Structure 1
C-alpha cells in the first residue's frame, strides 16, 4: 500500500511539474492567423453585404460570425502548418478542436457528464443505504451536491468557452475542492460527534472554510483573474485532504484489515496517475480527444470507488455502534 509520506512527496513533485509547463499559446499571435480572421470577417460578417448564414444549432450555442471566422481560421492555419511539417499550436490557450453540433470540446463534455452521472449515482446510493439518523450522512450528501454542481459547470464551460462559463467552472471547482477539505477532518477526527469541544472546533472550522472561499472568489473576481494562483490554491487544498485521507486509509486498514479500508489510498493514487495526463499534454487525437478530456475520463472511476468507500465505512461505524450498545446493555 502507498504510504502517506511517499504519496505526499509524489503529489508535491507533480505540482512542481505542473507549474513548470505552463506557457502561453502562440497560434492567435501568428500574423497569418490574424490576417485570415480579418479577411473572413470582412467578406462574411458585414450585416449590409449578405452575411454568411449560421445554422440554428450553432446560433443556439451563441456562435457569432466573428467567432465562426476565428474557428475556421484556426483549422485553416493548422492544416497549413501540418502541410509544411510544423507543429500544431494552441489558439487562445486551447488546441484547435473540431466542434460537434457547436460543442467546442466534445469529449470533455461527454466525460464531464460521466462524472456528473457518477455523483448522481453516489447520491442515490448514499440516500438508499445510509439511515437518515447517521450523523455523517448530511456531509456526504453535500459532497455529492458540490461534486455534481462542479461537473455541471464543467460541461457548460467545455460546451462554450465564455468568460462567464469559465468563471463559473473555476468557482464551482474551487467550491468542490474546498468542501472536500471541509468534510475530511469532520470524518477523520469525527467532529460530527456532539461533544462541547468538537462542536466548537466544527463551528470554527466551518467559519474558516467559508472565509477562505469568499476570499478566494473575491481575489479572482475583484482583484486579479490569476490562473497560477487558482491552480496553486486548488492543488494546495487537494494536497492537504489527500494526505489526510491517505493517513486515515492506512489507519483504518490497520484496525480492521478490510480491503475497502484502503480504497481512499487507491483513489488518491489513481488520481495521481491520471493527473500525469495533464503533464503530458498533446494535440487532440482526431481533433477532439486531448489530455484534459482524458483527465476527466480518469476521474470517473475514483469517484465511484469513493462513494463505495463512504457507504462501507459508514455501515461499519453503524455496526460497531450497535455492537457497543449491546455490550453496554
Structure 2
C-alpha cells in the first residue's frame, strides 16, 4: 500500500469538514413581511383568501371548530396541522411567491426550505426515501441474520463463530430506528419529532464509530471493547441529553455528527487500505460514496419544484450504499467464520 494513501484520505475528508464553515443560518423567518403575515393569520385565521377553521378562537381563548357534523372524519384529520404551523406554512408560500415575482432566490424559514405539502406530509420525497432506507436496513439485517445463523457453521453452544454478530445486530436496530424517526420527522416537523430524529441519528453515528474502531483494530476481548466504547458512549449520551434538555443547538450538532461520520470514514478507509479482506472493494465504494454524499448535505440547495432538495438526494444515495454495506457485513461474517474454522481444524 502507498504509505501516503491514509494521509491523502485524511486531507480529503478534513477538507469536507472545512466546508461546514460555509453553512449559514436561515433568514426567511426574520423577514418583517413574513412575520406580519404570521401574526395576522393567527389573529384572523386567514392568509389571503385561504382561512383555517382551527385558527378561530372564542373570547375565552378556546378554538371554535363548529358543530360536530362539520368536522372532518377522524381518518382525514391526521392531515390537519395546528394554527401556528398552518399560518407559517402558507405565509411562507405566499412570501416565496412574492419573492419569485421580484426575481429573488428562495430562502429558508425556521431552518427549512419552503416545501410543498402532500396530504399533510411536509417533505413527501424525503419521507418516501427514508421509508426505503428503513426497508433496506431491515432487508440487510434479516439477510445477515440468515447468513450467520442458518448458512454458516455454529459453535457447539449454538453461538456464531463471527465475533461481531451481536454488535451488528445492535447496529441494525439503531439504523432502523434512525430511519423510522427520520420519516416521522420529515412528515411532521415538531419539537418532539425533531429531537427524536436528531437523537436517533447521533446514537447511530456514535455506535457506528465504536464499531469501526472495534472491527478495524480487531478488538475481541470484552474488557477491551468496554474500554474503547465507554468514553464514546459517555460523550454521545451527554450530547443527546444536551440537545434534549438544555439546548437544541443545530450548529453544534452538525459539527458533532460530521466529526463522528468523518472519523469512521477515515478509519474504514485506512483499514481497507492495509487489510487483505476479500470484500474490501465494497468497503472502498461505501467510503467514497459516503464521503461524496456528505457533500450533498453540505452544499444545500432549494427544493426543485418544492419537493426534492439536497437532503432528499442524500437520502437517495444512502439506499444503494446501504445494500452494499450489508453485503460487505455478510462477506465479513463469512470471511471471519472460514478463517476461524481453518484454525480450529
Taking structure 2 as the reference length, what is the TM-score of the superposition? Answer: 0.85
Give matches, 1:164-175, under 5 Å: 164-175=192-203
Report the counterpart of residue 108 of structure 1 in structure 2. 126
Deviation per CA, 1:40-66: give whole Å up to 9, x if none. Answer: 333322224966988666742561123
Report the counterpart of residue 216 of structure 1 in structure 2. 239
Matched, 1:124 2:147: no
Give matches, 1:155-170, under 5 Å: 155-170=183-198
Gaps of 5+ in 2: 46-54, 150-158
Gaps of 5+ in 1: 193-197
Matched, 1:46 2:56: yes
The whole-number CA distance in structure 1 between the counterparts of 2:298 and 2:43 is 39
Report the counterpart of residue 237 of structure 1 in structure 2. 260
Which of the pair is proportionally richer in helix? 1
Give matches, 1:140-219, under 5 Å: 140-192=168-220, 198-219=221-242
Give matches, 1:37-76, under 5 Å: 37-44=38-45, 45-48=55-58, 59-60=77-78, 63-76=81-94
Contact 1:54 1:65 in 2 (8 A): no
Report the counterpart of residue 152 of structure 2 in structure 1. none
Q: 2:292 aligns with which of 250, 270, 273?
A: 273
Contact 1:95 1:284 in 2 (8 A): yes
Contact 1:103 1:159 in 2 (8 A): yes
The whole-number CA distance in structure 1 between the counterparts of 2:203 and 2:182 is 13
Contact 1:7 1:269 in 2 (8 A): no
The whole-number CA distance in structure 1 between the counterparts of 2:15 and 2:229 is 30
Contact 2:127 2:186 in 1 (8 A): yes
The whole-number CA distance in structure 2 between the counterparts of 1:9 and 1:58 is 52
The whole-number CA distance in structure 2 between the counterparts of 1:266 and 1:24 is 33
Calculate the aligned-residue CA RMSD, in Å.
2.3
Contact 2:99 2:106 in 1 (8 A): yes
Report the counterpart of residue 11 of structure 1 in structure 2. 13
Taking structure 1 as the reference length, what is the TM-score of the superposition? Answer: 0.89
The residue matched to 2:242 in structure 1 has which SS?
helix
Q: Post-superposition shift, 1:13? A: 0.8
Structure 1 320/162 Cα, relative in aligned 2: closer, same or farther at 3 Å? same
Report the counterpart of residue 98 of structure 1 in structure 2. 116
Structure 1 63/54 Cα, relative in aligned 2: closer, same or farther at 3 Å? farther
Deviation per CA, 1:213-254: give whole Å up to 9, x if none. Answer: 2221233234432222212212222222212111221223xx
Contact 2:265 2:291 in 1 (8 A): no
Contact 2:126 2:183 in 1 (8 A): yes
Structure 1 90/199 Cα, relative in aligned 2: closer, same or farther at 3 Å? closer
Report the counterpart of residue 48 of structure 2 in structure 1. none
Contact 1:116 1:152 in 2 (8 A): yes
Q: Post-superposition shift, 1:22? A: 2.1
